[in-house]
Amino acid sequence: MMSSTFSTTTARNIFYGGALFSFLLFLALTFHTESALPQRDARALLEANPQVAVGKRVWEENNCIGCHTLLGEGAYFAPELGNVYKRRGPEFIKAWIKAQPTGTPGRRQMPQFNLTEEELDALVEFLRYASEIDTNGWPPNIEG
C-alpha cells in the first residue's frame, strides 16, 4: 500500500533533500557566474586600451549608429559593424571610409567624414575591440 512505502518521514526527507540540493545548485551557479563574468567584461577591455576609447568617441561623435548596427543595436539602414573587422580587416575599413561616398547608382550612400589618420586608426581599434566581444556566437554568419 502507498502508506507503507511512502511515509510522512519519507516525504519530509524528500522535501529537505530537494531544498538542500536546490540551494547547493544555486550557490554553485552563482559562484560560476561570478568567476566567469570578469573574462566577459567588455567595459574592462575597453578601458584597458586607450586607443579603443578614442575610437569609441569618434564612433559616437560621427553618429555611425544612426545608420549602422553594432551587435544588433542601432539603425538598420547600413550593414552590421560588430564583426566588420573580422569580415573586412583594418585596411579595407580605412580605405572604405576614406572613399565615401561611392556614388554607385542604386546603392545606399555613406557620407564622407573627413577623418584624420589618427581617428581612422582609433576607429579601427574600436571595431577590432567590438569584434572580440564574446557574443555567444552571434551573429551566426560572418555577413550578418
- The stretch near ligand HEC (CB under 6 A) out of 11-19, 23-31, 34-42, 88-96 is 88-96
For ligand HEC, the binding residues in 95-134 under the rule CB under 6 A are 96-97, 102, 107-108, 110-111, 113, 123
Closest to 67 in 3D by CA, of 118, 129, 109, 8: 109
**Quick one: CA torsion of 76, 78, 80, 81, rounded to 10 degrees?**
-140
Number of residues that bind ligand HEC (CB under 6 A): 23
102 alpha carbon, distance to own chain's centre: 29
**84 binds ligand HEC, rule: CB under 6 A:** yes
Contact with ligand HEC (CB under 6 A): which of 52, 55, 68, 70?
68
H-state helical runs in 1-144:
2-5, 8-36, 42-48, 50-61, 84-88, 90-98, 117-131
For ligand HEC, the binding residues in 29-48 under the rule CB under 6 A are none
The packing angle between helices 90-98 and 117-131, to 10°, is 130
Contact with ligand HEC (CB under 6 A): which of 78, 90, 121, 139?
78
Least distance in Å: CB of 143 to ligand HEC?
8
Closest to 126 in 3D by CA, of 78, 76, 68: 68
- Which residues contact ligand HEC by CB under 6 A? 62-64, 66-68, 77-79, 81, 84, 87-88, 93, 96-97, 102, 107-108, 110-111, 113, 123
